[in-house]
Every structure is written in structure tokens, then in C-alpha cells.
């Protein structure tokens, strides 16, 4: 699966501070990776309509059983609302037992920096 390109559900105000969240997931098995992939379209559709979402992208390395997400939000509250609703909530809960490792990073950035560069984001995980 190629990288899902940066999508912009809501255009952020110029020079606004945005809340960025990046995640890295590694599943225990290839079955877990397949389950992650099967649930991706529903969550991706949810992102496209999420209030306060300023952008999102997904990188997948299913043969390595590893996935990265990257998103920018109006506020931590907007991100929390997204995570606890729609397709994301049952997907995240249903995949919890499939995860070997999960890492979450958050930081603030300027809306002028969007979309963020994947190479720079991946370095944050090192």
C-alpha cells in the first residue's frame, strides 16, 4: 500500500498554531497488519469529514507489519473527539490486541509548515 497523500479536510487559518500527532504501529502478526489495512478506509473517510482536522496522511509497510499516521488538528480537543468517535474508536479498540508496539508523538507547528515532510517526521521516531 503506498502512502496515502496528505489530505486537507479543513483549511487552517494562515499562521495558526496547529497540533500535530504522529503515530507508529507495529502489529504482532501479518494477520494484524491485514486487519489494520481492512479498517483503514473507514477511518480515512472519517478523517476527511472530521471537524478541526487540518490534514492527514498514512504510510504503510504491511510486509514489515508497520504503519505510521500523521495528522494536524485545530486543537488537542479536536483530535480527542476524532479518536473517540466514528470508525476510529472501534478500529483502535479492535486492533489493540494485535499491536506489538505503538508510539505516539505530539507537537505544535505553524499552519504555514503544512503539509509536513514525512522524512522529518520519521526522524522524530528515532
Q: Where are the domains of the chain?
A: 4-124
pTM of the model: 0.92
Strand partners, 71: 21, 56
Q: What is the pLDDT of residues 33-74, one digit of tens each?
A: 999 999 999 999 999 999 999 999 999 999 999 999 999 999
DSSP reduced 3-state for 1? coil
* CATH 3.30.70.100 assigned to 4-124: yes
Give the length of the chain. Answer: 126
Alpha helix stretches (DSSP H) within the chain: 30-49, 76-83, 88-95, 118-124
Amino acid at each position: 500500500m503506498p502512502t496515502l497523500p496528505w489530505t486537507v479536510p479543513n483549511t487552517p487559518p494562515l499562521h495558526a498554531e496547529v497540533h500535530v500527532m504522529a503515530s507508529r504501529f507495529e502489529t504482532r502478526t501479518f494477520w494484524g497488519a491485514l486487519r489494520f489495512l481492512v479498517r483503514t478506509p473507514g477511518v480515512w473517510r472519517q478523517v476527511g469529514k472530521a471537524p478541526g482536522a487540518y490534514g492527514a496522511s498514512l504510510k504503510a509497510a504491511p510486509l514489515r507489519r508497520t504503519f505510521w499516521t500523521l495528522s494536524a488538528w485545530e486543537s488537542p480537543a479536536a483530535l480527542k473527539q476524532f479518536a473517540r468517535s466514528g470508525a476510529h474508536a472501534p478500529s483502535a479498540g479492535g486492533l489493540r490486541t494485535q499491536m506489538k508496539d505503538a508510539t505516539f508523538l505530539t507537537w505544535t507547528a505553524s499552519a504555514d509548515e503544512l503539509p509536513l515532510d514525512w522524512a522529518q517526521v520519521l526522524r522524530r521516531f528515532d
